[in-house]
């Protein structure tokens, strides 16, 4: 369960840092005034931004748990890794393109350039569809090689994790569709900006999750950690 | 002594937070059914949770019928018995307690107590309830499918949960898992609302350290639930894969009736880790809102400021964080490295420290207070005593060497029923007696409430105290039939019969409570806006019950913390949070 504990520790550090700025040492029984004990932050965040942040923490927890389960299982002696279909690498490229396009759209929307925002969103959608199609192709390749969902723990985990990630990407497509709707209807610039920003953040997170999943599924993360372990034990630290 | 308004802060600057657009209702359906008003959603959540809780109560009668009078009712066979205990446990923990504390009290109290107009995402909030209702319906449906609901025990441990000899193996377990997945999806929508509302929609002057402890408890519990429920989600999805797609996440190589199954290579222990990574925080997801609510009930009904407010907040946060690193104390008998056992025993016992701080602070709040024995206060006192009793037996079970012999005995059943069954339920009752006047504008009947309290409180002790003795004697839990067990003397069976009779009485006494809820809605005494003379914002609304948007034209402004009771020199023994500052001057004699 180390992966999820690391994830929780990071969240706890973040929460602790945030809480430390909330006047937890204040003595509220002594302070009677309208402003309270805390200055308002200069640039208040939108509820939707905070909501997305909390939601991503929940999604992060979900994937950290999946990875934890994977690691717990992979540590057993009878573990047999499954070869990754090569198409996952071009797929990764698609997801990177989608994320970059949305970053570009975000920059455009911030400057008030709706044309850029629109173009970025279109490129992102196409790249995201290509990613999803590529993931389906990866499943077909595995199945073609005789690796079905019930062929063994490693391959079951591959299907499960890619499915979980794919479903979140599909969820992101709906968010993108909403962004499109706002751009097309020419909603207020503020709303479009917020919408593009939320979509960009979500897609960046999906890319981040995918890269971590890829590192875990390809076994690189495990190799990296074992090398770290060797270095530490070699230097006499453990 | 005279109160003179403080010039500088008497006129508050206008609110800085943006006014939110409220989706107003346009007719009966959108007012009472598909409502986006958190208060209506709260009542919907609470009513659904109490209704499904009543089903679980009836199931507990059936369990007690078998335990007290084995074989007296032919209808209860071993299969059904396991189905009853499974459904009783799961319904009570997830569908009643979690839903009622967070979906019910969270929805009603968060916006009102922090001075918001509503939750920040009203549509998602409405959806949250409807998905929860769907989850409940799927769960109930499992009673009516061939084979009935699952009988795997509320922990649903594989491999037995999906093996062919477990009741409900065919459809029951699938519906249970689907229902849990729906519940978690629905909760996440609600949970995002509760968290972001506390973070973003507090009215001017309502700093975090001025929030009532109720809001703190619900807030931290919600964050914990958001992070812990994914573990159950992952476990449920993986088990569904095992059941429906033939994967082997949790299923080892198995021979059943001389036949080798197609499973192989899975790890049942993996499920236990995932389940308890959710399961232990779940205890505090239920307990933290109860802690918060009790703090407010005690302070209000003892007319004293809460003792050690900051400590109370810190303790809530620390308990929330610690509860994520104790899960394996549920798995001592599953086998683990001795150092892990040591680690988890230590973290488990450390939680006792912030918890004890809270108990001391409640007692010190009561100390020399002006204690009014109103129904909410009675239930709050009942909670403190019960929580301490349940917590003390937890110290036994937290130690590996003591836990191993006590594991799977009635001692464990007694422990968790005291600490997370009876104790939170007492808080729920107390809270309903406390806030019902705000929800309906009428008081609940006092005599019925006191009768309800004494029967429930004393009855709970008569039920669960003897169970500790049964457990120490070695009486196993989950056994359908114990009359042949040699270690159990005749007197133990008599004790079982006694426990069952009390359980029937306590169960029936709840009818008084339900009757009170319905009767007082029309015939209760008019409550007025603030019947308990409380300080928190929900009692300062312009209308009772509060209208959509809660506050009329202007949001309230908060000038002080939530516990200004019996302030020396003040005109009254409470000062509402939205009352501007006053300076107290000595008047010349």
Residue-wise pLDDT for B309-332, tens only, equals 999 999 999 999 999 999 999 999
Q: What percent of chain B has pLDDT over 90?
A: 81
From B189, which residue of chain A is nearest by alpha-carbon distance?
A: A55
Q: For position B470, what pLDDT does the model report?
A: 93
How big is chain B by its Cα radius of gyration, in Å? 25
pLDDT tens-digit readout, B153-183: 999 999 999 998 899 999 999 999 999 999 9
In angstroms, rounded to a whole number, what is the distance separating the alpha carbons of residues B463 and B577? 42
CA A189 to mean position of chain CA atoms: 27
Report the C-alpha dihedral over residues B195, B197, B199, B200, rounded to 10 degrees. Answer: 150
Tokens of B515: 């009757």
pLDDT at B464: 96
3-state SS track over chain A: CHHHHHHHHHHHHHHHHHHHCCCCCCCCCCCCCCCCCCCCCCCCCCHHHHHHHHHHHHHHHHHHHHHHHHHHHHCCCCCCCCCCCCCHHHHHHHHHHHHHHHHHHHHHHHHCCHHHHHHHHHHHHHHHHHHHHHHHHHHHHHHHCCCCCCCCHHHHHHHHHHHHHHHHHHHHHHHHHHHHHHHHCCCCHHHHHHHHHHHHHHHHHHHHHHHHHHHHHCCHHHHHHHHHHHHHHHCCCC
Mean pLDDT computed over B571-576: 93
Is the pTM of the predicted complex or chain greater than 0.90? Answer: yes
Smallest CA–CA separation between B529 and chain A, in Å? 23
Question: pLDDT band for position A37 (50/70/90)?
Answer: very low
Q: Per-residue pLDDT tens for B211-238?
A: 999 999 999 999 999 999 999 999 999 9
**What residue of B is the nearest CA neighbor of A151?**
B247
Residue of A207, A33, A29, A101 lying closest to B557 (CA atoms): A33
Which residues make Cβ contacts (< 8 Å) with residue B59, sequence separation at least 6?
A: B84, B85, B87, B88, B91
- Answer for the pair A156, A211: CB distance below 8 angstroms, yes or no: no
- The answer on pLDDT for B333 being more than 80 is yes
Of the spans A113-122, A132-141, A177-186, B336-345, which averages the highest pLDDT?
A: A132-141
The residues near A21 (Cβ < 8 Å, ≥ 6 apart) are none
Chain A interface includes B586 (CB < 8 A): no
Indicate whether this complex's ipTM tops 0.90.
Answer: yes
Which tokens is A185 given? 């209807």
User: Residue B437: how many CB atoms within 10 A of its CB?
Assistant: 24
pLDDT of residue A41: 54
* B111: contact with A, CB 8 A cutoff: no
**Do the Cβ atoms of A1 and B234 come within 8 Å?**
no
Half-sphere exposure at residue A93, Cβ-oriented, CA atoms within 13 angstroms: 5
Give residue A43's pLDDT.
60
Could you give all domains of chain A from N- to C-terminal order, each with its CATH number?
49-221 (1.20.120.80)
Average pLDDT, chain B: 92
Question: A34 and B227: CB-CB below 8 Å?
Answer: no
Is the CB of residue B556 less than 8 Å from the CB of residue B131? no
Average pLDDT over residues A50-56: 95
Residue B27's pLDDT is 84
In DSSP terms, which residues pair with B526 in a beta bridge?
B442
What are the pLDDT digits (tens) for B10-27? 344 444 455 677 877 778
- Using alpha carbons only, how large is chain A's radius of gyration in Å? 22
Burial code (b: 16+ CB inside 10 Å, e: under 16) for B442-472 equals bbbbeebbeebbebbbebbbbbbebbbebbe
> What is the reported pLDDT for B112?
97
pLDDT of residue A113: 84
| Domains within chain B, CATH numbers bracketed | 38-252+276-579 (1.20.210.10)
Q: Position of tokens 């706890």?
A: A12
Residue contact A23–B207, C-beta within 8 A: yes
Q: Which of B45, B144, B172 is nearest to B96 (CA)?
A: B45
Cα–Cα distance for residue pair B220/B286, rounded to 1 Å: 11
Task: Give the mean model confidence (pLDDT) for residues B109-129.
Answer: 96
pLDDT in tens, B197-215: 999 999 988 999 999 999 9
The verdict on whether omega for the bond into residue B373 sits within 30 degrees of 0, i.e. cis, is: no
Cα separation, B411 vs B518, in Å, equals 37
CA distance B252 to B229: 25
CB A88: neighbour CB atoms within 10 A? 20
Over range B146-158, report the average pLDDT.
94
pLDDT at B504: 96
Identify the band that residue A35 occupies on the pLDDT scale cut at 50, 70 and 90. low
Position B2 scores a pLDDT of 39
pLDDT digits (tens, 9 = 90+) for B56-91: 999 999 999 999 999 888 999 999 999 999 999 999
Looking at the complex, report in whole angstroms how far the Cα of residue A219 sits from the nearest Cα belonging to chain B: 19
Interface size A-B, in CB pairs within 8 Å, comes to 155
Given pLDDT bands bounded at 50, 70 and 90, which one contains residue B585? very low
In this predicted structure, what is the pLDDT of residue A110? 87
């Amino acid at each position: 369960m180390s992966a999820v504990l690391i994830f929780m520790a990071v969240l706890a550090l973040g929460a602790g840092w945030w809480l430390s700025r909330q006047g937890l040492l204040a003595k509220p029984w002594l302070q009677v005034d309208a402003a309270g004990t805390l200055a308002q932050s200069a640039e208040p965040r939108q509820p939707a931004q905070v909501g997305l942040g909390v939601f991503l923490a929940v999604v992060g927890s979900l994937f950290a748990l999946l990875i934890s389960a994977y690691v717990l299982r992979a540590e057993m002696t009878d573990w047999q890794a499954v070869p990754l279909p090569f198409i996952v690498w071009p797929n990764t490229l698609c997801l990177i393109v989608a994320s970059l396009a949305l970053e570009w759209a975000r920059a455009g929307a911030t400057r008030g350039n709706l044309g850029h925002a629109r173009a970025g969103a279109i490129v992102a959608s196409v790249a995201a569809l290509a990613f999803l199609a590529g993931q389906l192709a990866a499943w077909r390749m595995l199945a073609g090689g005789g690796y079905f969902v019930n062929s063994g723990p490693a391959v079951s985990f591959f299907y499960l994790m890619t499915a979980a990630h794919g479903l979140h990407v599909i969820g992101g497509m709906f968010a993108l569709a909403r962004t499109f709707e706002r751009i097309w209807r020419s909603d207020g610039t503020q709303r479009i900006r917020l919408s593009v920003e939320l979509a960009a953040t979500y897609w960046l997170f999906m890319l981040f999750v995918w890269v971590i999943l890829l590192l875990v599924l390809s076994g690189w993360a495990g190799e990296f950690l074992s090398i770290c372990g060797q270095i530490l034990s070699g230097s006499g630290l453990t | 002594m005279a109160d003179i308004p403080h010039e500088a802060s008497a006129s508050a600057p206008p609110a800085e937070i943006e006014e939110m657009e409220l989706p107003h209702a346009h007719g009966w359906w959108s007012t009472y059914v598909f409502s986006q008003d958190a208060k209506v959603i709260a009542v919907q959540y609470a009513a659904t949770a109490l209704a499904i809780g009543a089903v679980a109560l009836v199931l507990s009668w059936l369990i007690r019928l078998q335990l007290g009078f084995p074989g007296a009712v032919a209808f209860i066979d071993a299969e059904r018995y396991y189905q009853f205990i499974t459904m009783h446990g799961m319904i009570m923990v997830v569908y009643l307690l979690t839903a009622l504390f967070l979906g019910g009290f969270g929805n009603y109290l968060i916006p009102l107590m922090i001075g918001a107009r509503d939750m920040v995402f009203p549509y998602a909030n409405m959806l949250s309830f409807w998905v929860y209702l769907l989850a409940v319906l799927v769960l109930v449906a499992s009673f009516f499918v061939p084979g009935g609901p699952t009988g795997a025990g509320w922990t649903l441990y594989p491999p037995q949960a999906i093996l062919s000899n477990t009741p409900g193996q065919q459809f029951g377990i699938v519906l249970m898992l689907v229902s849990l997945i729906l519940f978690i999806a629905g909760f996440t929508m609600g949970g995002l609302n509760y968290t972001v509302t506390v973070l973003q929609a507090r009215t001017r002057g309502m700093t975090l350290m001025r929030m009532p402890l109720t809001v703190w408890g619900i807030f931290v519990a919600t964050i914990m639930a958001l992070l812990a429920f994914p573990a159950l989600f992952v476990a449920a999805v993986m088990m569904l894969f095992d059941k429906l797609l033939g994967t082997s996440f949790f299923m080892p190589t198995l021979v059943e009736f001389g036949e080798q199954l197609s499973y192989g290579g899975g790890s049942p222990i993996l499920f236990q880790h995932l389940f308890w990574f959710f399961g232990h925080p779940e205890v505090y997801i239920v307990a933290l809102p109860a802690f918060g609510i009790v703090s407010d009930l005690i302070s209000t009904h003892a007319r004293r400021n809460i003792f050690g407010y900051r400590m109370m907040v810190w303790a809530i946060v620390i308990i929330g964080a610690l509860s994520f690193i104790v899960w394996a104390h549920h798995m001592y008998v599953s086998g683990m490295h001795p150092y892990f056992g040591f680690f988890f025993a230590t973290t488990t016992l450390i939680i006792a420290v912030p918890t004890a701080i809270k108990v001391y602070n409640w007692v010190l709040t009561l100390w020399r207070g002006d204690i009014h024995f109103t129904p909410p206060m009675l239930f709050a006192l009942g909670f403190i005593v019960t929580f301490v009793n349940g917590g003390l037996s937890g110290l036994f079970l937290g130690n590996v060497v003591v836990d191993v012999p006590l594991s799977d005995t009635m001692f464990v059943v007694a422990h968790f029923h005291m600490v997370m069954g009876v104790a939170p339920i007492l808080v729920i009752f107390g809270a309903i007696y406390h806030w019902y006047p705000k929800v309906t504008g009428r008081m609940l009947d006092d005599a019925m409430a006191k009768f309800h309290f004494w029967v429930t409180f004393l009855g709970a002790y008569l039920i669960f105290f003897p169970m500790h003795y049964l457990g120490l004697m070695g009486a196993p839990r989950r056994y359908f039939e114990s009359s042949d067990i040699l270690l159990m003397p005749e007197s133990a069976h008599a004790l079982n019969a006694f426990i069952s009779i009390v359980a029937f009485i306590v169960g029936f006494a709840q009818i008084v409570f339900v009757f009170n809820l319905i009767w007082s809605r029309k015939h209760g005494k008019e409550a007025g806006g603030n019947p308990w003379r409380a300080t928190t914002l929900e009692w300062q609304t312009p209308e009772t019950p509060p209208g959509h948007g809660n506050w009329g034209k202007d949001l309230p402004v908060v000038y002080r913390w939530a516990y200004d009771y019996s302030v020396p020199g003040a005109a009254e023994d409470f000062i509402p949070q939205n009352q501007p500052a006053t300076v107290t001057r000595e008047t010349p004699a």
